[in-house]
């Protein structure tokens, strides 16, 4: 199986709860089951919210 973020083979892959991408431990948070793309997106959302308030 290959990580869909870094495209490297990995024994252990997680499936992102948000977008369904398969990712290795280097490309996201395995505990939360969120890939890097979605984690970054969440960060951006948080930053935008804090600007508004
Ligand atoms: Zn990866
Ligand atoms: Zn994701």
Q: What is the pLDDT along the chain (53 residues), one digit of tens a residue?
A: 999 999 999 999 999 999 999 999 999 999 999 999 999 999 999 888 876 66
The predicted structure's pLDDT at residue 50: 77
The answer as to whether 29 is a domain residue is yes
Strands 22-23 and 34-35: unpaired
Q: Cα-flanking dihedrals φ and ψ of residue 7, to 5°?
A: 65, 20
Task: List, as ranges, residues with CB under 5 A of the ion ligand 1.
Answer: 3, 5-6, 24, 26-27
Helices (H), the chain: 36-52
- What single-letter DSSP state applies at residue 29? E
Q: Is residue 22 part of a domain?
A: yes
Cα–ligand 1 centroid distance for 49 (angstroms):
29
Q: Find the 40 Cα to ligand 1 centroid distance in Å.
A: 15
What spacing in Å lies between the alpha carbon of 45 and ligand 1's midpoint? 23
Please tell me the predicted confidence (pLDDT) of residue 49. Answer: 84
**In the prediction, which pLDDT does 53 show?**
62
- Structural domain of 32: 14-52
In a domain, 45, yes or no: yes
Q: Considering the domain boundaries, does residue 5 fall inside one?
A: no
Q: How far is the CA of 12 from the centre of ligand 1 (A)?
A: 10
């Amino acid at each position: 199986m290959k990580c869909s973020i870094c495209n490297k083979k990995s024994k252990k892959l997680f499936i992102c709860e948000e977008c369904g991408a398969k990712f290795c431990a280097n490309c996201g948070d395995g505990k939360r089951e969120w890939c890097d793309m979605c984690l970054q997106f969440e960060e951006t959302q948080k930053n935008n919210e804090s600007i508004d308030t």
